Amino acid sequence: MEVEKHKRMGVWLLWLLIVPGGILLTFHYDPPHINGHEWDIFAFLVLMCILALIPMIINNTQISAFQGVSLAVFLIYGLAVEMLVTQISFIFMLSMLRLRRSEIYRLPLNSLIFFLVCLVSGLIYYAIGGTHDYSTVVHPSNLWMIFVYLFSYFFLNTFLVTVARYFLMNQKLEPFTKDTIWDMISSLVVLPIGIIFYDLYQQLGYLAILFGGVPLIGIAFVMRLYNSSQGINRRLKKASEIGHQLTQRLQVEEVLHLFVEKISTILPSEQTYIFDVFNKEDKIRLLRYAEQGIEQEKEIQPFAINAGICGFVRITKQGIIYNSKKEWKHLDRGGFLPKTTQSVLAVPIVRNSLVEGILILASGKKRAYEQNQLMIMNILCSYLGVAIENARHVEETKKQSERCALTNLYNYRYFETAIEEEFNKEYSNLSLILLDIDHFKSINDNYGHQAGNEILIELAGRLELLIANKGVLARYGGEEFVILLPNVDKAAAYDFAEFIRESIAIQPFSVYSDLDELRSKVLIPVTASIGVASAPDDAEDAQTLIRHADRAMYTGAKKAGRNKVAEYVG
């Protein structure tokens, strides 16, 4: 969540007013117990910086041995030194994260919090009689003082972090959550580390830093690798689940929507793009766009097939990761990535050895993606390619079963299902228009069946334009067409039918005469007879409505001279 600029400035102001002066006063009133051990302090600082960068992660909770070493530094050298090395190590850790410009405020914020935490918990330790004398510190009867210091450190840190989130990010004041309990447990885990380090240093000197620090770093590193492998396994399992869900979808739109929705549950992505690179235009065009996993509309002009990051991935057929803007900026020919973008992950969507699409994930953080995540995205994009192909096959099969091969209108089978479904809905009116071309047999006899087919195709196109989204248009059979109009009463349906009849009659149809040796182009005037019926006035079920519209057409229009509209009269 973006923190407002005036709040970020307020953090910097508080830091300037409190931290520099506070550290100087601490050194003045509580001089450190250095005694020529500057290099030992420096070694502790290096160890703390390393441990801060590689925290141990157990059950998705960070347990940093850094805090245990910080406790040892406090017990050995006092508050001032512990405060200084803590400040330096945390600033070092945050600087290694390469924060965005809008996140730089986290440096003074963390510095301020840890200054206050160190100061208050240290003062509490001194107030209850705590000292830095070896015989006193390690005596069993005095260990409770270290517990008080550690819990003061924990509770104050939790309180300040909660308050900071409340004022900066408007989050609820919830200091005690499940995460808080895990943080308290992690504090208890690092307590023995601090005491052991302190005791070892008193007996071995600087060698304690070597003998204690190297195993700690090794354990932290091994646990980090273990947690990383566990994370990869979780992502692979999640990817497999998503893959199965994708292949179960039977429409391309559903497949793409599910993919965009689920992708954010596996990888951090501020922007998600899916591009089509396999189309008649030979252009790269945007298919889907999402921000934080939520689909949104975005206008991106189609660009050259080999241009930019998409073009590079299309040519190489390989996924790629860019860790910072300077790595991909020269390829940003499409100009679609936000200026704040740093990391980019791009993966080809391959089907039958052809790149049909490109997935691009963008993040404002540097080094946001890892190679194992690229591998998982490659797997997911393979699932996506297969799912899209399956969905297209299903859609094509369904289209062939529902559409008339000649006119591409819905066929009788689809219409029967559609009218039954409409009768199951609660409509005040449901009207039906049945249209039949007049003297169609004579057209076939005089100009050939191909000319008749051309008239059917052109009439279907005209009707589609006239009806648009007003209702369902289908070829009923032969030269008959049917129009289903939900929420349209009989009078409105009659007027619409009359408009259709006039539109057909006033514009002749241009066809080629197959019975002419020269196959010359001719203009054929065409008229239609139309019947109209409406439910519930004329029928209470689908078949009755069809029968009454058919009767109106034949008795009221055909027998009355054709080129007419007739409504059913019961």
- Sorting pLDDT into bands at 50, 70 and 90, what band is 283? confident
pLDDT at 365 over 90: no
Q: Which of 115, 55, 53 is nearest to 87 (CA)?
A: 115
pLDDT at 214 over 60: yes
What is the tens place of the pLDDT at every residue in 88-116? 887 777 766 666 677 788 888 888 988 99
Q: pTM for this structure?
A: 0.61
Count the neighbouring beta carbons within 10 Å of the beta carbon of residue 172: 7
- Sorting pLDDT into bands at 50, 70 and 90, what band is 526? very high
Query: For residues 159 and 282, which has the higher predicted lDDT (pLDDT)?
Result: 159
Average of pLDDT values for 152-178?
A: 77
Ramachandran bin of 300, using left for φ above 0, alpha for ψ from -120 to 50, beta for the remaining angles: beta
Task: Judge contact between 269 and 263, C-beta under 8 A.
Answer: yes
pLDDT at 431 over 90: yes
Q: Is 479 a catalytic residue?
A: yes
Start-to-end CA distance of the chain, whole Å, equals 68
Average of pLDDT values for 432-458?
A: 93
- HEC sequence for 171-199: CCCCCCCHHHHHHHHHHHHHHHHHHHHHH
pLDDT at 316 over 60: yes
Q: What is the CATH number of domain 412-567?
A: 3.30.70.270
Query: For residues 425 and 433, which has the higher predicted lDDT (pLDDT)?
Result: 433
pLDDT of residue 98: 63
Would you kindly state where each structural domain of the chain is located, as residue ranges?
A: 5-228, 249-398, 412-567
Lowest-pLDDT choice from 120-134, 161-175, 513-527, 545-559:
161-175
Indicate which residue of 270, 422, 454, 479 is catalytic: 479
pLDDT at 173 over 80: no
Average of pLDDT values for 478-506?
A: 94
pLDDT at 345 over 90: yes
Element of type H or E holding 365: none
**CATH number assigned to the domain with residue range 249-398, chosen from the 4 options 1.10.10.10, 3.90.1150.10, 3.30.450.40, 3.30.460.80:** 3.30.450.40
Fold assignment, 5-228: Arp2/3 complex 21 kDa subunit ARPC3 (1.10.1760)
pLDDT at 59 over 60: no
Task: Judge contact between 383 and 359, C-beta under 8 A.
Answer: no
Phi, psi of 355 (to 5 degrees): -80, 115
pLDDT of residue 124: 93
Assign 3-state DSSP to the chain and report helix, strand, coil percentages, each to 5: 60, 15, 25
- Sorting pLDDT into bands at 50, 70 and 90, what band is 489? very high
pLDDT at 259 over 70: yes
